[in-house]
Amino acid sequence: MPAELAAYLGLDKSTMSGLIDRAERRGLVARGRNPHDGRAVDVYRTPAGHELTQRLFAEGRRTLASAIGRLRPEQREQLIGLLDTILEPGNDQ
């Protein structure tokens, strides 16, 4: 999975490995063997990583709320549609 994540983010495998190492030391992610492929290593978000993700999401929402509030309803709909398209997994065209 780290190799897939590196490819998805457009990073070198070594860069991704370093980022995962740092996040693991901070208790945000953990590594574990893939149950279907003993050669593969999966990266899992820990409860602390989940909590941080939730906090950052809420902060981002608060930060964007005033700017999005200035949009007309049809502009908000368009923005949501565009964000759904780019954030949907597997849409890395």
Q: Give the Å distances, CA to CA, from 85 to 39, 54, 93.
A: 33, 21, 11
Residue 40 exposed, middle or buried by CB count within 10 Å (0-12, 13-18, 19+): middle
Q: Give the Å distances, CA to CA, from 16 to 37, 65, 87.
A: 20, 32, 20
pLDDT in tens, 2-52: 788 888 888 898 899 899 999 999 999 999 988 898 888 889 999 999 999
pTM listed for this prediction: 0.64
pLDDT in tens, 40-84: 888 999 999 999 999 998 998 888 888 888 999 999 999 988 988
